[in-house]
Amino acid sequence: MVAGNNLFYPIVGFASCVAFLYMSFGDLWADFGDHSEQIGSFVERNGTHFMVDGRVFYVNGWNSYWLMDDSVNEYSKYRVKAMLQAGAKMGLTVCRTWAFNDGDYNALQISPGQFDEKVFRALDHVIAEAKQQGVRLLLALVNNLQAYGGKTQYVKWAWEEGLGLTSSNDSFFYDPSIRRYFKHYLKTILTRKNSLTGIEYRDDPTIFGWELINEPRCVTDASGNTLQDWIQEMSTFLKAIDRKHLLTVGLEGFYGPKSPKRLTENPEWWASDLGTDFIRNSMLPTIDFASVHIYPDHWTHVQDLEYKLKFVSTWMQSHIEDGDKELMKPIMFTEFGLSSENKGFDPAQRDRFYKIVFDIIYKSAKEKGSGAGSFAWQFFVGGMEDHNDEFGIVPWQRPSTYKLITEQSCRLARIQGVIPLQTQYLKQLCSH
């Protein structure tokens, strides 16, 4: 037996497990019938929980960053529906994806304030398709990294227009001209009227929530004040336009100098010098839930898998405790991945990693804790290997992985009840 595997997961005979699922779902389905419905309500928050239609909502989610990009061209557009439908069939309820592409190939924002209508229609399509499939979207609004433009592109634009203060990438956070660019971008996205549904993005409950920036770091100000100020300004601005949607920062989850007692939870010493601070940043009243990533391979030099898996467990528990005791907000693990480039990598290791993440979320949910959901990085459909990195999978290509994911959908549904949109798929998945 694998050490740690049975920490949170009582071993139950398979047959009795199936019987239990069948019984509990049997009752629930009687309430809802079979008809499929479209997403009609916003996800809200009550303390450490997400709520939909007055019921607690835990997320089994995933990342497919490429939906808008692949929606632009006819030859790849089918992948959007294929992925969202496959996710829905796995009982997944939220997909995290990019709602930005700044100056890169197929750019949404071509230059500051200039948008490509063709690409906006591609994003309209992603949202309309998600609505069709009953999957909500967590939409990220800019990248700290260079992929799809990111803060580097904004700094370059300001420089080219003769407005930029410096060429430092971190001037994205403090240069007044760049802040204006980004606010203009926010306003344009939030008030975009979907060409297919006629609904403005800010009024569309298909959107689970917004993420300000993917994995922000501001290493030129390790005190954290610069990033904190930016988060405060942008979140306030966003909330003034859109009060209906939930908002998160997009943090990796590192603790900074304002959280001295937590510094030992960081993977290594450098993590406290990145200008980010999980507790301080997530504490702002304009931030509705906290985001955390989990990359044991990239964050530690220790090669030992058992060491990494132990880190995953303490990292998650530490943040859930922050949610329960300090932040009083839901905690979402919005990216987790195990690298296939590790020496001696075997997909069974990824299964173990996924299982630890799922078990901790399930345990927190069962205890009504703040651990509100997890999003694997990252899923594809077949034939798009060019989009992959060392973390991606086509989830149905490995039955054991597929089973882990779908079982998480089933057991979360057992706690929260089956949301009507899921009825059809969960019936197939969970009662065999």
Ligand X SMILES: *[C@@H]1O[C@H](CO)[C@@H](O)[C@H](O)[C@H]1NC(C)=O
Q: Judged by CB under 6 A, does residue 152 bind ligand X?
A: yes
CB of 156 to ligand X, least distance (A): 9
Our CB check for ligand X shows the closer of 46 and 191 to be 46
* CA distances for 157 relative to 94, 112, 124, 166, 219, angstroms: 33, 7, 26, 12, 21
Among 129, 211, 215, 252, the one annotated catalytic:
215
Q: Judged by CB under 6 A, does residue 169 bind ligand X?
A: yes
Q: Which stretch binds ligand X (CB under 6 A): 71-79, 165-173, 180-188, 383-391?
A: 165-173
CA distance 63 to 146: 18
CB of 128 to ligand X, least distance (A): 30
Structure tokens at 345: 């990598």
Q: Judged by CB under 6 A, does residue 146 bind ligand X?
A: yes
Q: Judged by CB under 6 A, does residue 406 bind ligand X?
A: no
Number of residues that bind ligand X (CB under 6 A): 7
Our CB check for ligand X shows the closer of 167 and 397 to be 167
CA distance 22 to 430: 7
Cα-Cα-Cα-Cα dihedral sign, residues 293, 297, 300, 305:
positive
Structure tokens at 170: 């971190």
Q: Judged by CB under 6 A, does residue 63 bind ligand X?
A: no
Residues 257-296, interacting with ligand X (CB under 6 A): none
CB of 152 to ligand X, least distance (A): 4
Q: Which stretch binds ligand X (CB under 6 A): 3-11, 72-80, 166-174, 380-388?
A: 166-174
Does 385 participate in catalysis according to the annotation? Answer: no
Nearest Cα neighbor of 58 from 395, 397, 376, 366 is: 366
Say how many Å lie between the first and final Cα of the chain, rounded.
26
Residues 36, 111, 168, 232: which binds ligand X (CB under 6 A)? 168
Q: Which stretch binds ligand X (CB under 6 A): 12-20, 167-175, 314-322, 393-401?
A: 167-175
Question: How many other CB atoms sit within 10 Å of the CB of residue 46?
Answer: 10
The packing angle between helices 14-32 and 399-416, to 10°, is 50
Q: Which stretch binds ligand X (CB under 6 A): 1-9, 162-170, 221-229, 318-326?
A: 162-170
CA distance 282 to 416: 25
Structure tokens at 51: 């709520």
Our CB check for ligand X shows the closer of 168 and 232 to be 168
Question: Which residues are 292's β-sheet partners?
Answer: 333
DSSP letter for 167, please: S
Residues 28-57, interacting with ligand X (CB under 6 A): 46-47
Does 215 participate in catalysis according to the annotation? Answer: yes
Phi, psi angle pair for 20, to nearest 5°: -65, -45
Q: Judged by CB under 6 A, does residue 364 bind ligand X?
A: no
Q: Which residues are marked as active site?
A: 215, 335
Interface contacts to ligand X, rule CB under 6 A: 46-47, 146, 152, 167-169
